[in-house]
Amino acid sequence: AHEVKTPLGYIRGLAELMKEDLPPNAPSERYATTIIEAVDRLNLMVQDILTLASVNVDKTETFDPVTAVRESIMYIRELAESRNLRVVEDFTSTHAQIKADRQKLVESFTNILKNACEASSPAAKLTVRLRPVTIGHAGHGEETVMIDFHNEGSYIPPEIREKLFIPFFTTKKQGTGLGLAISKQIIEAHGGAIHVESEPETGTLFRILLPTASASVISVGSAVQ
């Protein structure tokens, strides 16, 4: 990474110096700006590749998953407002805590929400839902937290849907194609699972299942105070 980022830093610095020496609105000024923007995209890609290559999860923090979800919503709030999207929170009054690397989960949720915002039709509704569920037979099931991210007005056909979590796959003009791949790796590193459903009439749903830290149940209100 150092071998790549260092020369990129030199290129960006030289382009900035070149831009400062040029008269306003000169054609070469636009060329310098293009170089700076391209270097920034390359730096982002390098960082995403590093993240994908080394998802280290520290499962030492026990916390309310609602707090991580709400932090992720905060990070995409400006993007949602710029597209006139209505973000709806739908959380149960009680649910179990999880034991996880909080910042990694926030990164994963934020990637999913950002993609949902960019894919949603303007003025659509983006619903984030959290529910406790039991996987398996009654009395012998595994307690799980289910987190849904549902956006209206977007449909992903099957041939695209099956490639969403493949590194470097993207349908965007600008993007690394690594965000959802990183999200999936983070979720699975926590012993969880993620899948996507999409219908033309209802939109697209990303569903995450995460194991709980214990059988104890807490109140949402007390967790976010």
For residues 198 and 177, the answer to whether their CB atoms sit within 8 Å is: no
Pair 71, 49 in one domain: no
Question: Among 58-67, 92-101, 114-123, 212-221, where is mean pLDDT lowest?
Answer: 212-221
User: Does residue 61 carry a pLDDT above 90?
Assistant: no
User: Does residue 217 carry a pLDDT above 60?
Assistant: no
Pair 49, 121 in one domain: no
pLDDT band with cut points at 50, 70 and 90 for residue 16: confident
Pair 89, 115 in one domain: yes
Domain that holds residue 13: 2-53
Pair 126, 211 in one domain: yes
Pair 96, 171 in one domain: yes
For the entire predicted model, the pTM comes to: 0.73
Total of domains in the chain: 2
Q: Tell me, what CATH number does 114's domain have?
A: 3.30.565.10
Cα-only R_g, the chain: 20
Pair 22, 119 in one domain: no
Pair 47, 118 in one domain: no
Q: What is the pLDDT of residue 224?
A: 33
